[in-house]
Chains A and B, each alone.
Chain A
Amino acid sequence: MDDIGFILPCYLISFGAVIVLCWRVARRGRVLAEQVPDEDKPWT
């Protein structure tokens, strides 16, 4: 594959950024949800 030095970083940075953001949101949700009773969480 030509230009792999441009193509691969594009995929790695894009997927990496998305994974980091989603992981942070899921982790923060887990931490905060432990401090709030179930009746204040409409999704439970």
Chain B
Amino acid sequence: MAITAPTDTAVAPLSPTRPGTGTTFTRWLGIASIVTLGAVALFGLVLSPADQIQGDSVRILYIHVGTVWIAYLAFIVTAISSAAYLWKRTRSLTWDRIAGASAEIGVLFMALTLLAGALWGRLSWGQFWVWDARVTTTALLFITYVGYLAVRGLGGTHEQRARRSAVVAMLAVLEIPLVHFSVKLWRSVHQDSSVADRTKVELDGLMLFTLMLSLVAFTLLYVWFVLHRQRVMMLEDELEDRGLDDALAARRTEAAASGGAGA
């Protein structure tokens, strides 16, 4: 008796040519992110000088400022994408997915902002946490967007998810001006802007370069993440729809078979 080897056709992937959510553009973007992040670590930890007043603790600010920049950017993109979804002329689930992907990385970067800020605060203020206006409103913003992600995780159709989370995003973004201007609105121990207002603080050339490099590196990473994550969300939605269609078809077949048997 001849024994034939089992073929792989039954388990072969549907898309053998280009697996994953990457393109040539995102691959180059990923490489650029890795290179620039490596440069941030090199300049931030080794090449940039210590601050005359803060000492080496200034090195934490290259992470702190970079991450908070991305968190703000991510939440603003979430709001703009949500508005685009709510507007009938541009309504598309792609906007909803971009909003969700952007909020996810925004929450991560806001958490990293709080962590870096706590470490810097311990060195500069002597405490990990102070109930300062800027610090407290930032924590509130973080909690708000964790809530936004929770709202996205509630059940319902893709359209229901998109509509309710878009409304939450439009409300949540109103907190950003409150966080940003909190140092002006209330008495705060948190320092004001150092780069935008150069009359107050003089930054060394290499320090300013490291800070700008950090902003560029995290922005490249943000774009990479949003592109990949919204594609993953598209695949998740597609497979969920397909699963529902299959379940419905199976139920109809079952109902027809039992109806036929009963007749």
Contact = CB atoms under 8 A, between A and B. Distances in A.
Given A21-B105, A29-B231, A10 B63 contact: yes
A29 B142 CA distance: 26
Contact of B56 (A2, A21, A36): A2
Q: How large is the interface on A (under 10, 10 to 19, 20 to 34, 35 or more residues)?
A: 20 to 34
Contacts of A18: 37, 108, 112, 221
A7 B60 contact: yes
B20 A30 contact: yes
A34 B15 contact: yes
Contacts of B14: 34-38
A29 B228 contact: yes
A38 to B, nearest CB: 5
A4 B41 CA distance: 14
A38 B18 contact: yes
Contacts of B13: 34-35
B108 A21 contact: yes
Contacts of B20: 26, 29-30, 33
Contact of A26 (B22, B56, B67, B115): B22
